[in-house]
Amino acid sequence: MAEKQVAVSASDKPIHVTDAEFDKVVKEKPYVIVDFWAEWCAPCRAIAPIVEELAKKYAGKVTFVKLNTDENPEVPQRYMVMGIPTLLFFKDGKLVDQVVGAMPRAPFEERVKKHMS
């Protein structure tokens, strides 16, 4: 069975990853924001359009990644994600920030920009 390839090119849309693909993406990209979410989570659905917009706006500078916690329990356990949505910010493979819960667009975008330099 052929292994599914992860698209790790500059993307203007969030990339959906699995537990197996997570480390590769976080290590290969200089700045990654991971959105931990699930289908049933209303606050996750509320921030999804913001994540989509920011992925488009910062394409080439920030890689937005979505990880479904119901289908991929390993990575959320490793990072002690207790509630969703949780957003983890990785710079050069290291965790530099996190946001737990839904956040309005403006303060979320400020957090995104804070780690860009």
List residues with catalytic annotation. 41, 44
- Two tokens at 75? 């990575």
- Two tokens at 100? 């737990």
Phi and psi torsions of 42, nearest 5°: -60, -45
Task: Name the burial class of residue 85, with classes exposed (0-12), middle (13-18) and buried (19+) by CB atoms within 10 angstroms of its CB.
Answer: buried
